[in-house]
Structure 1
Amino acid sequence: MSVAPVTGLVVGKFCPLHKGHEALIAFAQARCDRLVILSYTKPEFPGCDPAQRAAWLAALFPAAERLVIDDAALAAFAAEWGEAARVLPDNDAPEDAHRAFVAWVCRAMLGTTIDRVFTSEDYGDGFAAALARAFGDPVAHIAFDPARATVPVSGTRLRADPRLHHAFLSDVVRQSLARTD
């Protein structure tokens, strides 16, 4: 009897991608056969446009399936597939809007469902439950370092003072951000 491959999901703004994100992604990658990394944010943050986030993720996680989207990518997808145009939910939109959007991206854009979702956030259990309802199959939430003891940083802290927290950035991220200063 063969075991079905496990597909995992990590979702984030990655504005900027920091070593805490990297630790979460590496943790996820070690616990699934296929890892999908989804990045979106609305509004965008300076120095962290979709192309830049895609470059960081490609450089650091070449084996993962990476999807960095913005409203333009959604419009192009809709035009190509003859679907109604969608837009990204705003960062401050209700959790249910983000959960429904991610489920749609998985099904419509990636043609897949997810077995495991990996987060360092309190919302992880509810996120997994919402995906499970959308997919009609179980989705496990695997938490990674919710106390942020391993890498004590957040994107919000980094954006507030990137120079103070530069040690939490990989060289590829730090160098690209230095070019945008």
Structure 2
Amino acid sequence: MSARFGHGMVVGKFYPPHAGHHHLIRAAAAACAEVTVVVAPARVESIPLELRLDWLRAEHADTPWVGFAGRYDDTRVDLADPAVWEAHCAVFRDAVGHRRVDAVFSSEGYGDELARRFDAVHVPVDPDRSAVPVSGSAVRADPVAHWDRLSPPVRAWFARRVVVVGAESTGTTTMAAALAGHYRARGGSWAGTRWVPEYGRELTERKLGALRAVDPAATVFDVVWDRADFVEVARAQSAAEDAAAGQGSPLLFCDTDARATAVWEERYLGGSSEQVRALARRPDLYLLTSDAGVPFHDDGLRDGEHLRSWMTGRFREVLADSGVPVVELTGPHQARLDTAVAACARLLGGGWALADPLG
């Protein structure tokens, strides 16, 4: 079946890209031999242009005749001003180059005028938003309500990351899993809430297993750590976190992170390395599990009962300098969970601080 049009154009801010945008682009792709999608945000906006382009290219990789061109457009929006129209169109013409535009695809009321200025046919696509009821402004105002309209990379960008850290046998894994379960029980956008296990524990198990293959009597006290191990842990932990972020809900719970790995490196090797410290990122919230009143449970992979109080104190110091909100969890498990849920509620209550587009 031949295409109705040679070259089609779609323009927008894609702030952020959502299912309605993808529906529009796919409609253009189905009708044209070639499509140029012009991504034209203003510099005041909060999501980088290159990131939007990456997200769109990933989503539409199956239609290689659809190309994406990014240009900043810092002209205000005034549909009644011919000079403003011309300024916007100059940006779009620069993006499409010398190719003739045969059709303009749009869901907006300005589509007729935009097509006229390119001497092209206007093809309206779902102008009343009945097929895909969503808009960029609605997503910015409440990402949670429109979570199912966002692709995994966009979800990963919006997801609030909550990291649980603490000394050995203070319940970090239990808390991360409990929090994920608490939010999954809400259903809807929360049904897919995930938590990321501690990679360092997995590596400990592998190291101990390798020792026991040679000496069945080996214990965790025989495991040897070096700088490269902690670099591996920090990188693998961050990679697992990033992989999970796009597959879950608006909250992602992580059992430790790269910043905490630097504390563990200090505990085992006497100091943390610049290489590991450089891998630290800034989550949205830290939850510190206190060792006070928590019995030590020896599961065969733990060797630091005597250092728990020191580690709790060291975590307090390091997290205080992180620039990230920190909530310390104390008391029995249910009290800790209640405190953590309240902290997450405050985090979500703060919303997503996205700058308004130019009016």
Aligned-pair CA distance for 1:32: 0.4
Determine the C-alpha separation between the residues in 1 that align with 2:147 and 2:83: 33
| Pair 97,27 (structure 1): closer, same or farther in 2 beyond 3 Å | farther
| Pair 108,168 (structure 1): closer, same or farther in 2 beyond 3 Å | closer
Q: Does 1:157 align with 2:159?
A: no
| Correspondent of 1:67 among 66, 69, 82 | 69
| Pair 98,169 (structure 1): closer, same or farther in 2 beyond 3 Å | farther
| Alignment-derived partner of residue 29 in structure 1 | 29
Any unmatched runs of 5+ in structure 2? 161-282, 285-359
Tell whether the 8 Å contact from 1:9 to 1:37 is kept in structure 2 after alignment. yes
Aligned-pair CA distance for 1:88: 3.1
Tell whether the 8 Å contact from 2:5 to 2:103 is kept in structure 1 after alignment. no
| Pair 20,4 (structure 1): closer, same or farther in 2 beyond 3 Å | closer
Determine the C-alpha separation between the residues in 1 that align with 2:57 and 2:89: 23
| Pair 104,141 (structure 1): closer, same or farther in 2 beyond 3 Å | same
| Alignment-derived partner of residue 111 in structure 2 | 124
| Alignment-derived partner of residue 173 in structure 1 | 154
Per-residue displacement from partner, 1:92-125 (whole Å, max 9, x unpaired)?
Answer: 3446456424543454452222100000112111
Aligned-pair CA distance for 1:158: 0.7
Per-residue displacement from partner, 1:55-81 (whole Å, max 9, x unpaired)?
Answer: 1111112322111122xxxxxxxxxxx
Determine the C-alpha separation between the residues in 2 that align with 1:5 and 1:164: 36
Matches within 5 A, 1:30-45: 30-45=30-45
Q: Does 1:51 align with 2:59?
A: no
AA matched with 1:66: F
Aligned-residue Cα RMSD (Å) equals: 2.4
| Alignment-derived partner of residue 121 in structure 2 | 140
| Pair 4,21 (structure 1): closer, same or farther in 2 beyond 3 Å | closer
| Pair 58,94 (structure 1): closer, same or farther in 2 beyond 3 Å | same
Determine the C-alpha separation between the residues in 1 that align with 2:152 and 2:30: 23
| Pair 152,52 (structure 1): closer, same or farther in 2 beyond 3 Å | same
Tell whether the 8 Å contact from 2:75 to 2:88 is kept in structure 1 after alignment. no
Aligned-pair CA distance for 1:155: 0.4
User: What secondary structure, in the 3-state scheme, does the structure 2 residue paired with 1:122 have?
Assistant: coil
Aligned-pair CA distance for 1:43: 4.5
AA matched with 1:35: V
Task: Report the TM-score, using the length of structure 2 for normalisation.
Answer: 0.40
| Alignment-derived partner of residue 13 in structure 1 | 13
State the structure with more CA Rg: 2
| Pair 113,44 (structure 1): closer, same or farther in 2 beyond 3 Å | farther
Matches within 5 A, 1:41-120: 41-46=41-46, 48-62=47-61, 63=64, 64-70=66-72, 88-90=74-76, 92-94=77-79, 96-97=82-83, 99-109=85-95, 110-120=97-107
Give % identity.
34
Determine the C-alpha separation between the residues in 1 that align with 2:7 and 2:18: 23
Tell whether the 8 Å contact from 1:106 to 1:114 is kept in structure 2 after alignment. no
Task: Report the TM-score, using the length of structure 1 for normalisation.
Answer: 0.75
Determine the C-alpha separation between the residues in 2 that align with 1:108 and 1:60: 24
| Pair 36,146 (structure 1): closer, same or farther in 2 beyond 3 Å | same
Aligned-pair CA distance for 1:177: 2.6
How many residue pairs match? The answer is: 155
| Pair 99,9 (structure 1): closer, same or farther in 2 beyond 3 Å | farther
Q: Which runs of 4+ in 1 moved over 3 A?
A: 93-99, 105-109
Tell whether the 8 Å contact from 1:107 to 1:113 is kept in structure 2 after alignment. no
Higher relative contact order by CA 8 Å / sep ≥ 6: 1 or 2?
A: 1
| Pair 42,93 (structure 1): closer, same or farther in 2 beyond 3 Å | farther
AA matched with 1:89: T
